[in-house]
Amino acid sequence: MENFEETLLAWLRSSLTGDGHMETVVFRNSLLMVRITGTDFHLRGEWPSEPWHVFLQVHKGELRLTSNGERIGFDTPVYVDFLPSFNWEDVTLVGPYRVCFILVERSFFVEATVSMRNKITNGMIYFAQSPFTLLTEAERIRLQRLEDAMFTILQEEEDNLFVRELLQTMACAWQYELWNIFFHKKDMTRASNMIHWNDVAAHFLYLAHTYCREQREVGWYAQQVGVSPDALSAALKRLYGKPTSTILTEMLLVEAKVCLRNSAFSVQNVAEILGFSDQSAFGKFFKRECGMSPSEYKKEIMER
């Protein structure tokens, strides 16, 4: 955990100017919250590699950043989800600012938000195209209350049996509030043809999140959404840059990691849960995608 915390904090600390101040709290190697205030800020260095996901809440200040080659600016409170599918550069805060970075280990985040997956599928496709949410002052205050609650838990609670579950519940509540804001703001009107393919993709994502443990055949999903396998893959590649098979593999890998992190499950248990014919078949899949065996991954997680 020490190396994890030091590496991520060094990344943020290198971006501070003279009057910058950081306040940090951390939970194991799963969650890091960093509140930063100061004047002017330019994020330097390489972004955290897998499995870290970065969120940013700007409470005060002007945010400028380059997303996939396009320079964008925000002069009001804003929430940014730094999706790994984007190329992020020159993240800068101009003038006095107050922000909170939330860095989450992916498996921890997936476990926290599993209950909301099927509720936000229709919005995911739109948010993935522009992962920013502008906030009114009232919305910013509501989000800060949830942020404050998580921060306080990390400051005050001992690492007992239920702290992980408590933090995941709070993280889920924070995400629900964000999606509630997003759905109220977003204009879902699109051209009829785009609506059709967006609906197909949204239906696929819902099915994939729900059935990726049991169903891995592209044809099955294509049949459920009423299009050919080639048409489904073409639509997903156009919208997400990935064909159906790649998306299914990535989702299954996330599910595998979540299960392996559970100390109650053996590798054999996980293979059965995920519908593999045997432990050997699961091991070959996991090593091909992760570069290590399930046992090695489980051991590494336990050692952390």
CB atoms inside a 10 Å sphere around CB 184: 8
8 A C-beta contact, residue 82 and residue 101 = no
CATH class of 192-303: mainly alpha
pLDDT of residue 279: 92
CA atoms of 127 and 185, how far apart (whole Å): 11
pLDDT of residue 188: 43
pLDDT of residue 261: 85
CA atoms of 203 and 232, how far apart (whole Å): 11
Q: Determine phi and psi for 128, rounding to 5 degrees.
A: -65, -20
Is CATH 2.60.120.10 the classification given to domain 2-185?
Answer: yes
**And the tokens for 272?**
């059965």
- Which residue, chain included where needed, has tokens 């299960």? 259
Cα-Cα-Cα-Cα dihedral of 9, 14, 18, 20, to 10°? -30
Cα-Cα-Cα-Cα dihedral of 260, 261, 263, 269, to 10°? -20
- What are the domain boundaries of the chain? 2-185, 192-303
**And the tokens for 146?**
């949830």
pLDDT of residue 158: 67
**37 membership: H or E segment, kind and range:** strand 31-42
Q: Which residues pair with 57 in a beta bridge?
A: 79, 100
pLDDT of residue 196: 56
Peptide bond into 51 cis (omega under 30): yes
- DSSP-derived 3-state class of residue 206: helix
pLDDT of residue 134: 87
CA atoms of 87 and 94, how far apart (whole Å): 21
Divide the 304 residues of the chain into consecutive groups of 10 and give the mean pLDDT of each group.
72 85 90 93 79 90 86 87 84 92 88 77 71 89 93 80 86 90 65 53 80 87 85 81 89 88 88 90 92 90 76
